[in-house]
């Protein structure tokens, strides 16, 4: 199944998009042959709007043959953005609200938490003890956030943005090893991973069973762009074959950031065509 990330909607309606904008976007999305979408709360002041409109939006999607593949809590980048936020309770109450909203989308099992680039005040630094305190606090906070999501019968995945305290997939693996957690997953954002200089073709195997969803975009590995698959240098055959070989059965969701709404339809069609070609040529089956 092919779907789209929230970038489809903010490229069409800007980052001030409303629930009603999502509903309007559904008409075009269905006409273009996509089957999946990702609801997103971009700013915290939209929580009430999504709380009121989620049920009707989900129903409209169902009527058009669309289903939610994950719910992205974009605004919760703020929960890990710096030392003050990390050590605060910011995020607990908010992710509880997001999880309740996400339950109104039939079949949507995942809430995705982006991990923000970690910022220091000018001239600030860590010593070894401060780093360990921050790392321990990050682990503690992620476990607490996941437990809140899981209380609603959902699971949490992490979107690791370049520059985050988690660092990348190695940081995620260390988190798993040190906490013993078996439930938190990974949102495979190919653009973020490639910009982080990850060995991207190995990630599906490295994270087998932990990949809960995708943000499929391209770039050239030195800037965190969101280009259509095929427009950058990501080795898509290796990435897609790796996902299929290691049992990924989720949606292939494109994330393309367009400069103007007029570019959206063409960019998403081009990116999808690239992935369809790779999938159709693969010797591994996608169910």
Packing angle, helices 19-31 and 47-63, rounded to 10: 20
Query: Distance between CA 74 and CA 96 in Å, rounded?
Result: 14
- The pLDDT of 246-255, averaged and rounded, is 97
Q: Answer yes or no: pTM beyond 0.95.
A: yes
For residue 201 the two structure tokens come to 């073709």
| pLDDT surpasses 90 at 286 | no
**If pLDDT is split at 50, 70 and 90, which confidence band does 285 have?**
confident
Task: Work out the mean pLDDT of the chain and round it to a whole number.
Answer: 98
Strand partners for 159? 114
SS3 156: strand
Per-domain boundaries in the chain? 2-281
Is the pLDDT reported for residue 227 higher than 80? yes
Mean pLDDT, rounded, for 170-193: 99
Would you place residue 36 in the very low, low, confident or very high pLDDT band (cuts 50, 70, 90)? very high
Structure confidence by residue, pLDDT tens digits, 51-78 = 999 999 999 999 999 999 999 999 999 9
The CATH number of 2-281 is: 3.20.20.150
State the CB neighbour count (10 A cutoff) for residue 148. 20
**So what's the pLDDT on residue 121?**
86
């Amino acid at each position: 199944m092919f779907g789209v990330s929230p970038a489809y909607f903010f490229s069409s309606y800007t980052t001030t998009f409303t629930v009603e904008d999502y509903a309007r976007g559904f008409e075009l999305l269905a006409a273009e042959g996509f089957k999946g979408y990702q609801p997103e709360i971009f700013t915290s002041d939209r929580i009430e709007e999504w709380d009121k409109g989620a049920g009707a939006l989900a129903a409209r999607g169902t009527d058009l043959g669309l289903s939610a593949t994950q719910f992205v809590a974009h605004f919760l980048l703020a929960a890990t953005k710096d030392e003050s936020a990390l050590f605060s309770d910011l995020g607990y109450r908010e992710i509880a609200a997001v999880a309740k909203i996400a339950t109104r989308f039939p079949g949507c099992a995942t809430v995705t938490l982006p991990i923000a680039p970690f910022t220091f005040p000018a001239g600030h630094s860590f010593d070894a003890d401060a780093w360990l305190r921050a790392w321990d606090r990050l682990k503690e906070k992620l476990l607490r956030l996941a437990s809140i999501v899981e209380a609603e019968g959902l699971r949490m995945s992490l979107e690791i943005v370049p520059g985050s305290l988690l660092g990348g997939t190695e940081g995620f693996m260390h988190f798993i090893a040190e906490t013993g957690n078996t439930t938190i997953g990974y949102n495979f954002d190919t653009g973020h991973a490639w910009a982080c200089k990850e060995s991207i073709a190995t990630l599906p195997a490295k994270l087998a069973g932990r990949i809960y969803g995708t943000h499929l975009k391209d770039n050239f590995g030195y800037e965190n762009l969101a280009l259509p698959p095929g427009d950058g240098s990501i080795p898509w055959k290796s990435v897609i074959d790796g996902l299929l070989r290691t049992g990924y059965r989720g949606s292939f969701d494109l994330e393309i950031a367009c400069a103007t709404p007029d570019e959206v339809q063409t960019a998403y069609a081009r990116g999808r065509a690239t992935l369809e070609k790779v999938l159709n040529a693969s010797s591994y089956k996608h169910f």
